[in-house]
Amino acid sequence: MSEDKIALLKRKRAAAKGNITKVKTQFEKLSSVHPRDIDFESIQHQLQVLENSDKSYHENYDGFMENFAQSLDLNQESNDLYEFGNDVTILRGKLQNLLKAHDGFTSLDLLSAKVNSLERRVTDAPKSISSVEIDKVATIIEELLKISVNPRLPEVRELQADLDSQQIKFFRVQADFLTTTYSSEVSKATSDSSSRPNIKLPELSLPTFDGDPLNWAIFGDRFQYTLSKVLQALTRWYT
């Protein structure tokens, strides 16, 4: 292999290492900003630089091993490869977690806006709310729960606390919506029946516990609030 080829391989390998150092620097800058304020494209760009550098380094490492294995310090080469690979793995994990945190807080802001809207409407115009809309908000919460349980996210406590608050608000809106719907069905049943003792009340779906101890407090609040609302509705009809 020519000296020029050797020099080219060395430059590419050094460039790959240099790019990793730059990604580290960029990560420090990104991580100093709150995840909801980070530019999504910036994280994606750094991940792409990382993957390209990893590919370039390994290609050139393979080239050295193929042509110069006899003259290389294999222990040193092995250590260099391990350190490079370790840096890439750690950085990739950190950037992916940062991306998840960004997505989490973006979704949390969307959830907050939707829950606040539902809170206003469930009082002023409950009939404007549909079960489909309620289900969509529940889906956002499910996706956020997957992010908030990741212990490697440094902002996980803030995200979890905000999510817990939004869940409680949403579940109460859900209970109010359920009560309004149930009250309407009870009203219809009583108005269509000539004899109250023979009234068959509509089926009522109450919250169920998923078995996770971490969700017990929220479940308890949700269950008690829902039941109290339903009992209030029934009391109005039978007193």
Domain boundaries defined on the chain: 3-238
The radius of gyration computed from the CA coordinates of the chain, to the nearest angstrom, equals 29
Q: Please give the model's pTM, rounded to 2 decimal places.
A: 0.60
Per-residue pLDDT of the chain (239 residues; tens, 9 = 90+): 556 766 777 787 788 888 888 888 888 888 888 888 888 888 889 899 898 888 888 877 776 666 666 655 666 777 777 788 888 888 888 888 888 888 888 888 888 888 888 888 877 777 788 878 888 888 888 888 776 655 555 556 677 778 878 888 888 887 777 777 766 666 666 665 555 555 555 566 666 777 777 677 777 777 777 777 767 666 655 55
Closest by CA position to 108, among listed 36, 216, 214: 36
58-63: long-range contacts at Cβ-Cβ below 8 A with a sequence spacing of 24 or more? 59/12, 60/9, 60/12, 60/13, 60/16, 61/13, 63/9
Secondary structure percentages of the chain, helix, strand, coil, to 5? 85, 0, 15
